[in-house]
């Protein structure tokens, strides 16, 4: 058995691996960037080594620094986690060449499945069904457009070396293909160093089904059943669950058998996920589920599989890497209950889900469920890495019970001043269509109006703030700023919430919230949202579009990666003026109306702060 392990990752991922390694008596070594020095994972490891500045390309992605840290600390093995170098075949080979154990897929399997076009060809040869599309070598834009026209719209452009929803664009019309291709190639080159793409037929009403597979060095391959990851936004998973709703035994057997067949085709060892796309317009059927790609690593959503099978997949990884056979045979694995996982992100749903960075002055996560988190109260959400705060994982005997439990958990989240998607998650998990299992990858977009919380204080919030003051004469009356009692006999209170003042009649049946003093502010936490309930203050969300004078403000701190206009240019409403990139996201800034570019304060490569005026469009008559 491995005795010492270096974890080549950070945050929640590193903490998750440390937890199992400690249980197994394995000494752990953390590597970290300068900005991560005070993070919990660094403190929890037995030893820690700083490997460079905050940008990942100067620290977490520098293979030589990680190998040097392993040598210096006497680590026997390296676990890459999920993300960063976990699917880098060259790094896997370098680890083994250094005489260390690689806790991951073999380099040949990573290469075989790392390029989507080659992987699909391999799957065709192995008898695994794949979606219709183009996977050729000719990358000329005109040829790619002709192939898309032949396949028929809508199509999906995908980076050959892509993953995690990056380098992917849906195109609905032929005339939009050229711009979407350019954007996809640019993002693919930036994220993966490879701008090649493939084209797939876009499946209408699709479900995203994936199967957890595991192989060992003794020729054994098993599956640990399926997960449904259909609840997505911008091709990134939001809520995952296991098993998949509506999956009958026959379809499950066919899909899981195909996944095992795919793993055997590349002599797979370790944890991996075979991802399928399903046309669920008539329910899940084996003849309408196609191979999409393989992730040659452990997945972010692996806890739901652990929950329904009772297995620790990180322990499996460490045992397999140590040369042991798989801990269970296929007939020893079964599904018990239902599990769901929601990804709690530092982002502002009311501002287009743009990342929200800054200090975590208050961070309270729900108890009584599994919570995998990389941060803690008093810490910070950095602009350098993925903005996920935590994963909320619930288990229950049935799917409706799991959905209710997840909605309740998300509603209990308390975070400030960073904005989160907690209220959005709570609404999604409680949505009648979600509870009924009527989900596909377009669910969030289709139900956006009822899932995205409003920034205006609602009657329920006002009622909760008012109720938090009762009874009159208690300490709450004298402690709280921004509240004034009025006509107490009539049970009415003047309430200021987020700068809005209301005279509210108290209703004893109203839903309550939690009123908290956070620093110098008084906040109402209700259903996953946080509301200032004191004197009016500036909106924390920042800019994000055009104000009345045509100014375009940076909605987040980031880097300008494209500028498509010059001062004096005539533009039309909706025309793209420039593009920002931050935290793995691109944000196009569009002209708010027809006019002229009167000011341009952005250049390619420039770093900007949230709220910076990037450009101003003047109407023609101005």
Catalytic residue IDs: 297
* Cα 156 from Cα 171, distance rounded (Å): 6
Long-range contacts at 41-47 (CB < 8 A, ≥ 24 apart): 41/7, 41/10, 41/11, 41/14, 41/15, 41/374, 44/15, 44/18, 45/7, 45/14, 45/18, 47/73
CA-based end-to-end distance of the chain = 74
- Read out DSSP for 178-197? HHHHHHHHHHHHHHHS---E
Query: Checking DSSP bridges between strand 270-279 and strand 338-345, what pairing results, if any?
Result: unpaired
CB proximity list for 331: less than 8 A, separation 6 or greater:
none
* Integer Rg of the chain from CA: 26
CB proximity list for 418: less than 8 A, separation 6 or greater:
346, 356, 357, 358, 359, 360, 381, 389
* Cα 362 from Cα 413, distance rounded (Å): 10
Question: Partners of 616 in the beta sheet?
Answer: 551, 599
SS (H, E, C) 464-475: HHHHCCCCCCCH
CB proximity list for 283: less than 8 A, separation 6 or greater:
246
CA 272 to chain centre: 19
Token pair, residue 266, equals 């590349």
Cα–Cα distances in angstroms (integers) from residue 589 to residues 544, 586, 592, in the given order: 8, 10, 9
* Cα 105 from Cα 87, distance rounded (Å): 8
* DSSP code at position 368: S
- Read out DSSP for 226-277? EEEEEEEETTEEEEEEES-TT--HHHHHHHHHHHHHHHHHTT--EEEEEEEE
């Amino acid at each position: 058995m491995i005795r010492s392990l270096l974890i080549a990752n950070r945050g929640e991922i590193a903490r998750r691996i440390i937890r199992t390694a400690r249980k197994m008596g394995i000494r752990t070594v953390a590597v970290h960037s300068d900005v991560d020095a005070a993070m919990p994972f660094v403190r929890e490891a037995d030893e820690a080594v700083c490997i460079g500045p905050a940008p990942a390309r100067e620290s977490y992605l520098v293979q030589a620094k990680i190998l040097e840290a392993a040598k210096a600390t006497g680590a026997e093995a390296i676990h890459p986690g999920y993300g960063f170098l976990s699917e880098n075949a060259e790094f896997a080979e370098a680890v083994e060449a250094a005489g260390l154990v690689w806790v991951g897929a073999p380099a040949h399997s990573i290469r075989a499945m790392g390029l989507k076009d080659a992987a699909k060809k391999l799957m065709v040869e192995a008898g695994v069904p794949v979606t219709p599309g183009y996977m050729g070598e000719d990358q000329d834009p005109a040829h790619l457009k002709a192939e898309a026209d032949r396949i028929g719209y809508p199509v999906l452009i995908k980076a050959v070396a892509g993953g995690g929803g990056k380098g992917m664009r849906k195109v609905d019309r032929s005339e939009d293909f050229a711009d979407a291709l350019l954007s996809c190639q640019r993002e693919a080159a930036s994220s993966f160093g490879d701008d090649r793409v493939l084209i797939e037929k876009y499946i209408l009403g699709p479900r995203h089904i994936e199967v957890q597979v595991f192989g060992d060095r003794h020729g054994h391959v098993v599956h640990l059943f399926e997960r449904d990851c259909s609840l997505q936004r911008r091709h990134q998973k939001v809520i995952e669950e296991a098993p998949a709703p509506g999956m009958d035994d026959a379809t499950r057997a066919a899909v899981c058998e195909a996944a095992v067949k795919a793993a055997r085709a590349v002599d797979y060892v370790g944890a991996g996920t075979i991802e399928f796309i399903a046309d669920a317009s008539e329910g899940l059927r084996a003849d309408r589920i196609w191979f999409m790609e393989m992730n040659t690593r452990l997945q972010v959503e692996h806890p739901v599989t652990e929950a329904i099978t009772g297995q620790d997949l990180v322990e499996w990884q460490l045992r397999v890497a140590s040369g042991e056979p798989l801990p269970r045979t296929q007939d020893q694995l079964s599904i018990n209950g239902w599990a769901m996982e929601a990804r709690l992100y530092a982002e502002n749903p009311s501002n287009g889900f743009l990342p929200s960075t800054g200090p975590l002055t208050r961070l309270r996560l729900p108890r009584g469920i599994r919570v995998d988190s990389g941060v803690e109260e008093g810490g910070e959400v950095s602009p350098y890495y993925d903005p996920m705060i935590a994963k909320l994982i619930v288990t229950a005997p049935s799917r409706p019970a799991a959905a209710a439990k997840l909605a309740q958990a998300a509603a209990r989240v308390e975070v400030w001043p960073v904005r989160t998607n907690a209220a959005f998650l709570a609404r999604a998990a409680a949505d009648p269509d979600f509870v009924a299992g009527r989900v596909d990858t377009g669910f969030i977009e289709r139900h956006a109006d009822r899932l995205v919380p409003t920034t205006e204080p609602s009657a329920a919030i006002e009622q909760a703030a008012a109720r938090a003051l009762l009874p009159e004469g208690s300490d709450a009356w004298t402690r709280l700023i921004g509240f004034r009692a009025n006509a107490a006999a009539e049970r009415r209170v003047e309430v200021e919430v987020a700068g809005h003042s209301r005279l509210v009649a108290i209703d004893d049946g109203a839903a309550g919230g939690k009123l908290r003093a956070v620093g110098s502010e008084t906040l109402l936490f209700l259903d996953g949202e946080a509301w200032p309930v004191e004197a009016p203050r500036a909106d924390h969300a920042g800019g994000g579009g055009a104000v009345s004078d045509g100014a375009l403000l940076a909605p987040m701190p980031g880097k300008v990666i494209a500028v498509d206009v010059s001062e004096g240019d005539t533009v039309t409403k909706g025309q793209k003026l420039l593009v920002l990139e931050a935290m793995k996201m691109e944000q196009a800034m569009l002209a708010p109306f027809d006019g002229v570019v009167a000011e341009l304060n952005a250049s390619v490569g420039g770093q900007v702060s949230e709220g910076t005026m990037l450009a101003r469009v003047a109407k023609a008559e101005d």
